[in-house]
Amino acid sequence: MALDIVSEVREKQPLIHNLTNQVVMNFSANGLLAFGGSPIMAMAKEDAADIANVSDGVLINMGTLTEGQVQAMILAGKAANEKGIPVVIDPVGVAATTFRTEAFQRIAAEVQPTAIKGNAGELAHLVGMPLETKGVDSVDSDNADEIARKVADKFDTIAIVTGKVDVISDGEEMISNQTGHAWLSQVTGAGCLLGSIVTACLSTTGTPLKQAYTAVKFYGLAAEKAASQPGVNGPGTFAAHFIDALTMNLSQLEDSSS
């Protein structure tokens, strides 16, 4: 994890175009603001490309997907590719329905992702590896390394497989992250917010693998810090303290986990 990446986000306050699901917009916007980025939540296909053109990164999150949103995602993603800014795809629930699977395929055919982030079941589905899923969730997988490597190779991207142990790969190098807390899985939008923070980190200078790892590890440390605070008794109180923890510097977070 690199202090310079987080510091650069906070200095530049990158504008991140969040094409994300309606359930999590408020949580994602507040969390990105706390971390140091600047969110814009816009889903209309009529101005998707225009907004991407004035942004520093684009997050495509398939959580509450409609046909119009698929079109907006493709327009924004193509504009981001042309501008040379990062695109993160979070294929939420991609294995749940044919519509979602085909929507991802349409997006990936026209948009080059800088990173693809999802749970083991979602990313396994992208490369034809059978893995149990339940709606938008999946069980943790013993072969997350293999899933990450295959996704990275197939889509020429950084693959981020989230779980009890997160795995980040560029197809050659593999990094694992063990920071985090179980309450993250009980807060709606926690994974979606991570996608936004990954996008912000990818907008900095440096290598995408290092940027993605920094985002994921910082996120996990913030969760640990939040869970350790007095008065945190469950996912409700945890969520508020988690937003607070995202404002902290690395030394404060690392001190809390040592």
Please indicate if the annotation marks 157 as binding a ligand. Answer: no
What is d(CA 166, CA 168) in angstroms, rounded to the nearest whole number?
7
* Number of other residues whose CB lies within 10 A of the CB of residue 46: 11
φ/ψ (deg, to 5) at 89: -110, 125
Please indicate if the annotation marks 179 as binding a ligand. Answer: no
> DSSP letters along 153-200, please?
HHHTSEEEEESSSEEEESSS-EEEE----GGGGGSTTHHHHHHHHHHH
Please indicate if the annotation marks 41 as binding a ligand. Answer: yes
What is d(CA 191, CA 197) in angstroms, rounded to the nearest whole number?
10
Please indicate if the annotation marks 162 as binding a ligand. Answer: yes
Binding site: residue ranges? Answer: 41, 117, 162, 189
Binding site for substrate: residue ranges? Answer: 41, 189
Binding site for ATP: residue ranges? Answer: 117, 162
